[in-house]
A = this chain, B = another copy of it.
Amino acid sequence: MQPLKVNAERLWKSLMDLAKIGATPKGGVKRLTLTDLDRQGRDRFVDWCKAEGMSVRVDAIGNIFAHRPGVDDSLPPVMTGSHLDTQPSGGKFDGAYGVLAGLEVVRRLNELGIKTQAPIEVAAWTNEEGSRFVPTMMGSGVFASIYTAQSMHAQKDVEGVSVGDALKAIGYKGEAKPVKVGAYFEAHIEQGPVLENTKTTIGAVQGALGQRWFDVEVTGQDSHAGPTPMELRKDALLAASRLVVETNRVAHTYPDNARATVGHLRVSPNSRNVVPGAVSMTLDVRNAKDETLLAMVEDLRKSAKAIAAECRVTIDIKEVLYFAPSHFDPKLVDSVRSSAKALGLSCRDIVSGAAHDAVYLNRVAPTAMIFVPCEGGLSHNELENARPDEIAAGASVLFNAMVAAAGVVGEAKAA
């Protein structure tokens, strides 16, 4: 089959329509998971799917699956999707793009009268962001048996509302059971600057970086900045700052897409003329290879030990999260590359620095992702933006990769 393109205007219009639900004055979207705004977004998506003749099921954690039958409907579906929830100061594209790109694939299949051998499904995963309820990627995590639905139902937001009650309140606590998935694709904005910086339209995502997150407590002794000579200080901020510098060194030293970040740091007592007695900080270390990730962490632990001794403070490092690196299915990644090539789009291999629902799907099904550029690499921000032509390009790549995976029966009507 010749490569086909989706309807760019229709996709963009749906994205803008959905973005009105929870729209913020600054042009972003606040649609926290399992709120009434989330319900409105879900209802809109379900209505659109039903208008395309799809059947819709909902599972125990509120994941929505819209089903377009295959010629052999007993085959495992070729699935795509992402999430409809946003960060508190979120944008129009993170998550919504992957769901509506899937819807656009179905709309295009329908208008072209294309029948696929295997069924096509579009999923909207519950609570990818983790802003209201932890953990992140809750819905895909339950689908992939990382968590049980029951344990997730008990998770509560800061106001004490449980996931179970919130699901019931918005009418999205269903009973659908997990199905075997033939192939899973997810289209997403890159949320980073690499595609834009290299003027590339399509990122063929090879996998996602492994992550290890830490909480770090530096304990020294606060003292008067004036009367305390340098040699008698136990300056927790000096030690913390040296650890920040070491974190950066380690990320620059190791191969395999090494990244390391101190994003959060709090000083105590945090007064202008007091030598800081304590610092709490976080450490986020990422790498495409598990063994390199571990080597980075070991290097940092050694540095911390030396710094603690030299600054006469204690440094306590506690791991709070581990995600193994993900390696997506080589055949599906290759299908993304060849779809891009067939459409005449620039394409480069890329590794996802962030986790996505696809990371959990990858544990139970052959998986690939498609990245498109976002303006300035900005995401989780009301100013998040993307170009309509590139948004459409990613969806066209998705269309062709899904059709190839599902198998085409007969000939398409005239496009």
* A residues whose Cβ falls under 8 Å from a Cβ of B: 190-194, 197, 209, 211, 213, 223-230, 232, 235, 237-238, 240-242, 244-245, 248, 251-252, 257-259, 261-267, 270-276, 282, 284, 286, 352-355, 377-380
Q: Are B248 and A272 in contact (CB under 8 A)?
A: no
In the bound complex, how far is the Cα of B275 from the Cα of A378, in angstroms? 12
A-B contact pairs, 5 of them (CB 8 A): A194-B229, A225-B263, A225-B353, A263-B274, A273-B284
In contact, A267 and B265 (Cβ under 8 angstroms): yes
What distance in Å separates the Cβ of A376 from its nearest Cβ neighbour in chain B? 8
Shortest Cβ gap from A395 to chain B (Å): 20
A265: chain B residues within 8 A (beta carbon) = 237, 265, 267, 270, 276
Please give, as numbers and ranges, the residues of chain B lying within 8 Å of A248 by CB-CB distance: 230, 235, 238
Q: How many angstroms from the CA of A230 to the CA of B227 in the assembled complex?
A: 40
Which of A225, A227, A257 has the most chain B CB atoms inside 10 A of its CB? A227
Known A238-B245, A378-B223; contact A228-B192, beta-carbon cutoff 8 A: yes
Question: Are A261's CB and B273's CB within 8 A?
Answer: yes
Most chain-B CB neighbours within 10 Å: which of A213, A230, A257? A230
Closest to A311 in B: B248
What is the bound-complex CA distance between A242 and B224, given in angstroms?
22
Shortest A151–chain B CB gap in Å is 23
Which listed residue, B224, B258, B353, touches A227 by the CB 8 Å rule? B353
B232, B241, B377: the one contacting A228 at CB < 8 Å is B377
Partner of A241 from B245, B352, B353 at Cβ < 8 Å: B245
Chain B contacts for A238, CB-based, 8 A: 244-245, 248, 262
- Pairwise interchain contact B224-A377, C-beta atoms closer than 8 A: yes
B225 and A261: CB pair below 8 A? yes
With A224-B379, A228-B377, A230-B251: A264-B259 Cβ-Cβ less than 8 Å: no
The answer to whether A264 touches B267, judged by C-beta atoms less than 8 angstroms apart, is: yes
Top-5 shortest CB links A-B: A192-B227, A226-B353, A226-B354, A227-B353, A241-B244
- Interface pair B223/A193, CB less than 8 Å apart: yes
Give min CB distance, A322 to chain B, whole Å. 14
The distance from the CB of A226 to the nearest CB of chain B, in whole angstroms, is: 3
Within the complex, the shortest CB–CB distance from A198 to chain B, in Å, comes to 11
In the complex the two chains form, is A282's CB within 8 Å of B286's CB? no
Is there contact, CB below 8 Å, between B245 and A263? no
Identity of the chain B residue whose Cβ is nearest the Cβ of A194 in the assembled complex: B229
A261 and B284 contact, CB distance less than 8 A: no
B266 touches A270 (CB 8 A): yes
A229 to B352 Cα, complex, angstroms: 11
